[in-house]
Every structure is written in C-alpha cells, then in structure tokens.
Amino acid sequence: MSGPRLATLRNGSALPLAAVPDLPFEDLRDAVVRETAEGNRLVSFFASVPEPASPASSRAGGEVELLAVVADDEEGTLGVGRARLEGERFPSLTPACPQAHWFEREIAEQAGVVPAGHPWLKPIRFHSSWREGHDAWGRPALAHPVPGVTDFYRVEGEEVHEVAVGPVHAGVIEPGHFRFQCHGEEVFHLEISLGYQHRDVERALAGGPHKGTVPIVETIAGDTTVAHAWAYAEVVEALAGVAVPARAGAVRGVALELERLANHVGDLGALANDVGFLPTASFCGRIRGDFLNMTALLCGSRFGRGLIRPGGVGFALEPERAGRLAERLVAGRRDALEAIGLLWETASVTARFEGTGVVSPKDAEEIGLVGPAARACGIGRDVRHDHPHGIYRYVHLPVVTASTGDVAARAAVRAAEVERSADFVAEQLAALPETPARVPVGPLAADSLAVALVEGWRGEVCHVALTDGDGRFRRYKVTDPSFHNWFGLALALRGEEISNFPLCNKSFNLSYCGHDL
C-alpha cells in the first residue's frame, strides 16, 4: 500500500483529533478512492462547518472540514482522514467511488460547497445550507426549499410515461416521493426524492450531550431506537473512557436482537400482505406485537426507549423478569417460524418473490449496500461479525447470506436471522452476568473523535462524534442504514414491473425519517 495513510481505530473507540491526519483534499480523495477500490467501504463522509460565533463570521464563511470514515471489514478496522477545504468547490469522489454519491449530495446541501463533477448533484433533504450565504445551488438564503421540487431525470418518448407516487400515500406510511419513468408496465428508471421528514437532528445534537440528546437519538428512527441509542452510548463511552459492565452489554444485545426480531417478523408479514397472502400477514402482525411486548417487559417501552444509557442500561433485567422473557421467547420463536414457514410452502407466494427486484452483487458492492439487503446479494457484511463490539466480541452470531439478490433472498435472509437472533437471546437470558447494570460516565475527552457502528435490523448504524475543547459535540454525524440503501431500491426497480414496486419497497423497508434526520 502506498500513498497517504488514514488513522486507524476500532469500532467503538476514540482518537484524539490530533492523531487524525489533516490531509490536503487530493490526498484524502486518493486515500478513499484507493481503499474503496480495494474492497473497503465508505461508512461515513461528512462536512463539519465552523460554528457561527457571530452573524458576521458566519457570513464570512470560514473553512469547511471534510471527514471520511472507511471500514475494512476483513481486518475489523476503521480508517479516518480529514481535509480542510479551500474555497467553495472540491473535485467530486463519486465518479471514481459511487459509494460517495449520496454523501456528497448531503455535504453539498449541508455545507454549501460544490463537489465539482458530481454526476447527479441535487438536494437530498431540501433544507437551506448550514453556512448562511453559501448554497451549492445558489438558492436564495431565506427561502425554505420545498421538498421534491427539483429537476427529475426524464425519459422522453412517445410511449414513455411518468408516474409520480407520494409524498401522500394511500396507506398510513411515511412520506416520500417516487418518480417512475415507465414504458407500459416496465420501469426504466425510478428516482426517489425524500426530505419530508427532515428535523435537523444533527444540528440539534451538536453542542451536546445535553438533556435532549438521548430522546433525540432514540427517535432518529423509531423502529431502530435500540441500535441508535446503543451507537450513541458507545460514542460517549469511548470519549469518556468508560468500560460497560458485562450485564449491561448482555442486556443491550438482548434488546438489539429483540428489535431485529420484531421488525423482521413484522416485515415478513407485510411482504405476505403485499402479495395478498393472508395467513402469514395476519399471524406475523400479531407475533411482531409479541416481540415488541418482550421489549416492553424489558424496559416498559415497546420500542426500547429509556433502556440504553451511556454507561450501561437503565433496566437490569432481574432473574424473575429474565425467566418470563425466556418463556415468552420460546412461544414467539415457535409461532414466528411457523408463520414464516407458510411463505415457503405456498407456491403462489414464492412465485411472486423469486426473481423480483434483483440487485446484482456488483451493484450492491459499488453503491455500498448494508444489512440484509447486502447479505441477500451474497455479501457477508455484518457489523456484529466484522467489527464486533460489546457482547458480540464474546458471542458470535453466524452471518446469514443468500445469493440471488431478489425479494425472495431478502426475505430468506431475514427469516434465517429471526431464528439466529431468537437463539442468541435465549442463550443470553440463560446466563446473564452478575455485574452492576450501569456505571457513572465522566466528562468527555476534548478535541477527540469517536466512531461507533451497530448492526441494526436494517443494517449498519454509524455515529461519529467530534468534540471541541470543552468536550462538547462540535459535530455529531448520524448515518442510518437507509442512507446507504435507498439507492439500492432504485436499482432494484430497473426493468422491473411497476406493479412490483410495493413488494420491492417492502423487502428493503427503509426508513424515511432515519434518512431525512
């Protein structure tokens, strides 16, 4: 290996910022392009803009800092590099490294700088730039951009027609806009435009930790509460140099896998519902509730809110409760596997799943898919295995993969994970370590960086924190797995029938608010 080096660290650890090489932008670009070409992944790439101390300085601009985190899944290490931008433009990475596509659009929107040569430079969330007076598209400073108002890719032709779906849908789901270029029933191209759920989470987290930090983190994506809360806790623990007690680690593992169980089961039921197969749809709807109630038994919230706190967990899972949970788990596991089994036994269902919404392994690699969507393409990518942290350092969960990359593969991966996760939880409940559930957390290290990856049920949740001289968050970057995977859904629809869109969509089941932040 030659060329500029990135600083290396492990998942869930911190590094003084001084140890992160401050590279010229070209070197950072070369390093990221080289690493991704070697098979490593871009897990986070973002801009940190100088805090406006006064309106005058904000108008003056100041230097924008770019920071990239690259994961080496084989070695289990993370590489970090940063660069200060001079001026308002930088040469785009996307042509050489498609994984940067969405990240660079985000950088352009947040920092108001232009990745020159980006092939598809449009806003992704439709908010005004964080640096007043600097806008990548030269939009007026005070006008709030309207989500979905942009130039959409269009296919011209006599027999081509355009179908626009959303942001208001016929079902009670999150808002998002989908633009299909169709030829009869065949989809030539799908463009996804989001941003309707933008709450400015990242800026609300900057300046923390404060009273609002944990509630905000827990609601980044409601169905991924545990994974986000865990990632946040790990970032804080790394910065404070705290080791989490073993019992807390086990309870976190139990909660994360229960979250995975509830969502996988619910989504498999929803897949059945989308093809009009009633038995699995209605059984899974009920069983999802059973798993959510197990999380409620753990901490009083069906979504695991209030459970994970920096330094440990808020609820210790005492033996009597663990026993009840184990009992319920046995019933839930049995019912879930039975209901899911019906899917594979019904020919009319498998006929709908197989060959629908195929993503090729090459595309999946190039755009950096994560989670079950990647594993369904035969890519054995799983944070619990590649970058083990917490309980996963001691208990190994086998990585489930499938090879066909279609709806059937995504469903099969998730079905198998239901079994594995249930077994994992049962194993943990049988032998909970006897330690305190929580330890106090001291002040955070100043001028440092911490990275935490957690394998949520949708895939890799990544939190990166930069602290200032007082140990407060100067920049807090959240990357939900949906951020990586939305483009995968667009690719899955190429050449597919438009009537299969809901099925493909459900097989990914990505988060709108997790993406929009």
Q: Which residues bind other proteins (CB under 8 A)?
A: 161-165, 169-171, 184-185, 272, 274-279, 281-283, 286, 346, 348-349, 351-352, 356, 497-503
CB nearer to other proteins: pick between 162 and 318: 162
Which of 184, 241 has the CB closer to other proteins?
A: 184
**DSSP of 47-67:** EEPPP-SSHHHHHH---EEEE
3-state secondary structure of 284: helix
Closer residue to other proteins in complex, CB, 277/291: 277
Asked if 48 and 475 touch (Cβ cutoff 8 Å), the reply is: yes
Look at residues 144, 138, 153 and name the one whose alpha carbon lies nearest to residue 188.
153
Closer CB to other proteins, 130 or 178, in the complex: 178
Minimum distance from residue 347 beta carbon to other proteins (Å) = 9
Q: Is there a contact between 73 and 79 (Cβ–Cβ < 8 Å)?
A: no
CB of 261 to other proteins, least distance (A): 21
Q: In angstroms, rounded to a whole number, what is the distance separating the alpha carbons of residues 91 and 94?
A: 9
Write out the two tokens for 209.
């930790």
Least CB distance from residue 187 to other proteins, whole Å? 10
Q: State the Cα–Cα distance between residues 189 and 46, nearest whole angstrom.
A: 28
- Side chain identity at 31, as an amino acid letter? A
| Least separation in angstroms between CB 501 and other proteins | 5
87 burial (CB, 10 Å; 0-12 / 13-18 / 19+) is exposed
Q: Which of 347, 456, 364 is nearest to 408 (CA)?
A: 347
483 vs 501, beta carbon nearer other proteins: 501
Nearest to 103 by CA among 360, 462, 457: 462
- Least distance (Å) from other proteins to the CB of residue 405? 18
Cα–Cα nearest to 203, from 99, 130, 277, 96: 130
Of 365, 370, 367, 369, which Cα lies nearest the Cα of 94? 367
CB of 291 to other proteins, least distance (A): 18
At closest approach, how far in Å is the CB of 348 from other proteins? 4
Q: Write down the least CB distance from residue 148 to other proteins, Å.
A: 16
Q: CB-wise, 282 or 293, nearer to other proteins?
A: 282
Nearer to other proteins, 189 or 474 (CB): 189
Shortest distance, CB of residue 357 to other proteins, whole angstroms? 12
Position of tokens 């594979």?
344
- Cβ contact 503:271 at 8 Å: yes
Return the number of the residue (476 or 508) whose C-beta is nearest other proteins. Answer: 508
How many residues does the structure list for the chain? Answer: 517
Cβ 325 to other proteins, closest distance in Å? 24
Q: What is the DSSP letter of 198?
A: -
Question: Within a 13 Å sphere around the CA of 130, how many CA atoms are in the beta-carbon half?
Answer: 25
Q: What's the rounded Cα separation, in Å, for the pair 272 and 418? A: 16
CA dihedral 366, 367, 368, 372 (to 10 degrees): -110
- CA 358, 364, 368, 373 dihedral sign is positive
- Please identify, using beta-carbon distances, which residue of 97 and 412 lies nearer to other proteins: 412
Q: Which is nearer to other proteins, 271 or 453 (CB)?
A: 271
